Amino acid sequence: MSILNILRYPDPRLHKTAKPVTQFDERLKKLVADMAETMYDAPGIGLAATQVDVHEQVIVIDTSENRSDLRAFINPEILWASDEKQVYDEGCLSVPGIYDGVERPARVKVRAFDADGKPFELEADGLLAVCIQHEMDHLKGKVFVEYLSPLKRNRIKTKLLKEERELARSQTRTAAVR
């Protein structure tokens, strides 16, 4: 297994639409395992393939406290979403250190395949429902900050670009010292 590089907002690759998976093979199983390892290492509770620059409809999620409930959702689709909404403070591995409230349906029913190609349906509420919807947005090329006001979104973009420049500068200085 490998730790994969997570794209950071506002990287344009985060806005690519993911294609459906057509082959349920060892490559897919390795991708799921690598994504899970990357998510746990980050640490996070969900990761979409888009975030690691693989534009296929693959999501891994584990909302358990002890990392014991890893789920893979291949080619997921929401069959039903409740009219009832709820606001959760969301964060994202591609938008590190930023959390803000996003309103989404409180409950969803999703259909997907597991990594072996076996279909399943799942009804979810609470954090799992939020996580499923958040990660499915990534597959459509949407990042959670796009639900925020343009002012907040621009502040976040500016902050993250500044952090990236500072990190690049410090790495250049470190390399020059060696």
Q: Which are the catalytic amino acids? A: 135
CB 3 within 8 A of CB 38: yes
Task: Tell me which DSSP letter residue 16 carries.
Answer: S
CA distances to 26, 48, 72, 77, 89 from 69, rounded to whole Å, are: 21, 17, 10, 20, 22
Is 138 annotated in a binding site? The answer is yes
- 162: CB partners within 8 A, 6+ apart: none
On whether 134 is known to bind a ligand per the annotation, the reply is yes
Query: Which residue numbers belong to the known binding site?
Result: 92, 134, 138
Query: Which residue numbers belong to the known binding site for Fe cation?
Result: 92, 134, 138
